[in-house]
Structure 1
């Protein structure tokens, strides 16, 4: 396993991070693994040097934190693990049960630590940018959590670059702790974060961890999985001609290499020097092994050209564009031009 410093912090994390959205309770989603099913995957990741574990209170509405940390507390060494969890999405139907108000953040860190049976989380992350709460309120609450010892660092995820700039500005102005990690979506079929967010993170010394390296499974060329048939976000984000053409290019490179498309898609992400760590949400040990192999897969210029040649710009994928994204296919003419 390779290890890197996360941004300009002194924290060292594995280049593969175990994603855990698929672990928790089947009552939440049909493709979720329970504790017994999750343990072999978690153990396999730890055995291969992974020290970076990604959680969120929203995963299985809390059951994800409980299931994963039951296993970690049983088979892992807490002081050797970098455990992160996120806050923001609705945990119940209460009017204050979501967002980044001081109340919800303070309630949520205590609830997460109780479910995790841990004294602290290494990185406490905003799951998105809450436009309805003053950023000063949010960041002061996170600063207080770090000062209290309940979190060692803070991080952020999935927002516009100007929103991250606003966060850094208010932290600088008030002498509060700044985020050390930005978690964002990046893969062969979605590269918009390379335009502004990733360069900005490099300039500001913020580490970048990447989720969805397989474009929610599209780049594996397997559209019949339980998740792809039940997770409407997959179609919403990647149901366009360009995405499928890119998936076909991934398959061609994989066939030429004699490996799986997943390995090629993951190798593409890991080839980016700006990427500190790549999340791996594996359903099997073999799927995790694909990511391990991708660490050693060096793509040639010809292979990179084939993977890149179909890409065209698209609108950003985040909480604010959900249900409103514009497909990368020509729209029909209207009005006088019809």
Structure 2
């Protein structure tokens, strides 16, 4: 396993982060068998992955519970456990958002489900237009001061919103966001025209979600065929990826994979690992076989010509509606 520093912190994390959204029962394409999910997580840990990402809203806390059970018996000092807050966790007032009340309550609930004394990286899942960013940052700062959280991060927002948060934290002396989770992969490159230049300028670590575009870059689907399996069979969000430009990218991925005796998954992840702004893509394997395929990306070397060929079909454009899931 390879390791890197998370953003400009001293925290060392594996170059691949294990995303745990797939472990739960909320959606048909998730891993409903709890023991199977635990087996995947433990195989990742045994392979040297020390960075795990989940969220309170994933299967309404079920993912956090599975992660908590899976990491029992492993060296806590080596693990970097990340989770998120924002989404609705119950009906009624204050059941969602980034108010001080909701953040503190949900941090405590996440700790209970994870079976931990502290969260390594606590992230706001989305921007909350109804709560002043000062209130949100103050609450996160309180969690750091009381030892319940080590670092704070953010996910999926406009660059101006993220810069506002960074400015307020500096102005008020609050804990600063050290990471940004952004949708980023070879066919979803809109963040190159939004938040990624800011992250580079501000030394913020980038941990991309959906690095395989929901399985599209793994080569699971074919032109002209209606998807009848995987996430695309259940999720309209996948439809945006079935474009001529995306298929052209996948053609290049497959050709390079064949030349390198690698899989499309490995080439697609290797492209992200070659991006200087990226710290650790968040992979979401549902089986040990998928996990082993993901891990193989660490051994794939791409030339400058390969990178240019993979990137040529798409010109990144920022659309605030993209990624709003």
Q: What TM bracket, shorter-length normalisation?
A: over 0.9
Mark the runs of 5 or more structure 2 residues left unpaired by the alignment.
222-227
Q: Which of the numbers 266, 270, 278 marks the counterpart of 2:269?
A: 266
Where 2:211 maps in the other structure, the secondary structure is coil
Q: How does 1:308-323 map to 2 (within 5 A)?
A: 308-316=311-319
Counterpart in 2 of 1:4? 4
Give the Cα–Cα distance (whole angstroms) in 2 for the partners of residues 3 and 266 of structure 1. Answer: 15
Q: In terms of mean alpha carbon deviation, does 268-277 or 287-296 score higher?
A: 287-296
Give the Cα–Cα distance (whole angstroms) in 1 for the partners of residues 58 and 12 of structure 2. Answer: 25
**Is 2:293 the partner of 1:294?**
no
Deviations 1:277-309 (A, max 9, x none): 111111122222222221121112332232122
CA separation of 1:233 and 1:40: change in aligned 2, threshold 3 A? same
Give the Cα–Cα distance (whole angstroms) in 1 for the partners of residues 305 and 316 of structure 2. Answer: 21
Deviations 1:231-273 (A, max 9, x none): 22222x4232222222222122222323211111111111112
Q: In terms of mean alpha carbon deviation, does 297-306 or 94-103 score higher?
A: 297-306
> How many corresponding residue pairs?
318
Q: Which of the numbers 155, 165, 172 marks the counterpart of 2:163?
A: 165
Where 1:124 maps in the other structure, the secondary structure is strand
Q: How does 1:187-336 map to 2 (within 5 A)?
A: 187-223=185-221, 224-235=228-239, 237-316=240-319
- Deviation of 1:149 (Å): 0.8
Where 2:207 maps in the other structure, the secondary structure is strand
Give the Cα–Cα distance (whole angstroms) in 1 for the partners of residues 204 and 109 of structure 2. Answer: 27
- Deviation of 1:321 (Å): 5.2
Give the Cα–Cα distance (whole angstroms) in 2 for the partners of residues 254 and 2 of structure 1. Answer: 21
Counterpart in 1 of 2:224? none
Task: Indicate the RMSD between aligned Cα atoms, in angstroms.
Answer: 1.7
Give the Cα–Cα distance (whole angstroms) in 2 for the partners of residues 167 and 233 of structure 1. Answer: 28
TM-score normalized by structure 1? 0.89
Stretches of 4+ moved more than 6 A in 1? Answer: none
Q: State the structure with bigger RCO (CA 8 A, min sep 6), 1 or 2.
A: 2
Deviations 1:127-171 (A, max 9, x none): 011111111111101111111111011110111111111001111
- Deviation of 1:318 (Å): 5.7
- Deviation of 1:60 (Å): 0.5
Counterpart in 1 of 2:63? 64
Give the Cα–Cα distance (whole angstroms) in 1 for the partners of residues 198 and 68 of structure 2. Answer: 33
Counterpart contact for 2:193–2:318, Cα < 8 Å: no
Where 1:167 maps in the other structure, the secondary structure is helix
Counterpart contact for 1:35–1:71, Cα < 8 Å: no
Give the Cα–Cα distance (whole angstroms) in 2 for the partners of residues 185 and 148 of structure 1. Answer: 31
Mark the runs of 5 or more structure 1 residues left unpaired by the alignment.
323-338
Give the Cα–Cα distance (whole angstroms) in 1 for the partners of residues 45 and 324 of structure 2. Answer: 36
Where 2:154 maps in the other structure, the secondary structure is strand
Give the Cα–Cα distance (whole angstroms) in 1 for the partners of residues 99 and 65 of structure 2. Answer: 24
CA separation of 1:7 and 1:311: change in aligned 2, threshold 3 A? same
Counterpart in 1 of 2:144? 146
Counterpart in 2 of 1:35? 34
Counterpart contact for 1:35–1:68, Cα < 8 Å: no
Deviations 1:44-80 (A, max 9, x none): 111111110001001101111001111112x422121
Counterpart contact for 2:64–2:110, Cα < 8 Å: yes
